[in-house]
Each structure stands twice: as structure tokens, then as C-alpha cells.
Amino acid sequence: MYLHYLLIFVFQVIQGCNGCMATPQSSAAPEVPVIPCQTCAAPGLLDVPAAAKPTYFMGPGSVAPGAPVTAAQCVSFVITCNAVTTPNNKVIQIGVDQIIGQALAGPSMAGRSLTVTVVCNGDGVLEGVDVVTGNRVTLTNAYCSVAN
């Protein structure tokens, strides 16, 4: 008699647990690893830092995708500050974020364009070289500054 009740109880538990022991879904699609150096977004071009005004103003520039670098196909971007025609051929440079005193390229006379390539590093962060110190710097934005 107890066996009969036990079997009914077990049967009810199994029925009430619909989906408790779900079969894991499998996929034939291979898992694609995320490679951090392929995830960086293009840097923005900002105005010159407020502390630099009115001595400097924002010059024209652009950001374009660069060729992939390294065996991991890390993304890169080309930042260009265009030549500016000014009465005295003023100095231009490519600045880092909103930091005064760090530059990715320059200074150069305004009659010449400046170009620099920044690369997405293994941490998924854009990186360039500060021409002032020679040190690597990370960035999210750049700016084209022209002396007034």
C-alpha cells in the first residue's frame, strides 16, 4: 500500500517538474572569441580645451579608419588636421582628449596638414605616442588646434 502511494507521489513530482531537467541546447555555430583590439570606436574630434582659448582655436580635421595592424587585425584610425590658411601661417598640432601639453603630432606650420595613426591596443583602448615626451598615451578623442 505504501509502495502504491510512493509511486503516485514520485509520478506527480516528475509531472509537476516539467522542464526541471531540460536538455541543454546545442549549436553547430562555432564560438567566436572577442579580441579586445578589434573593439575600439573611432575617436571623436573635439574643440580645443577651454583653457587654451583664445590663444588657440579648433582647426578643421577628420578621422578615418586605418588599415588593420598586427596578426590579430587590430583596428586603427587616421586622424588628420587639415592645413589652415592664415595670414601668418600659424602653428597647428593634434592634441589628446582635452589635455594641454600632450600632442600626437606637431607642431607644424598651418600651411601643412598633420596626420597620425592611433591603434586599438590589447586592452581595447586607443593608443598613440605623445610627440612631446615620446610616451604612449591612451585617448578617446583628439583635437586640431591652430594658434591665433
Q: Given a cut of 80, is residue 19 above it in pLDDT?
A: no
Residues 6+ apart with CB under 8 A from 66: 75, 76, 77, 78, 117, 119
pTM: 0.76
Q: Given a cut of 80, is residue 17 above it in pLDDT?
A: no
Q: Given a cut of 70, is residue 2 above it in pLDDT?
A: no
Give the least confident one: 28-37, 68-77, 118-127, 137-146: 28-37
pLDDT one-digit tens code per residue, 23-69: 556 666 778 788 999 999 999 999 999 999 999 999 999 999 999 99
Give the span between the Cα atoms of 124 and 49, in whole angstroms.
25
3-state secondary structure of 7: helix
3-state secondary structure of 10: helix
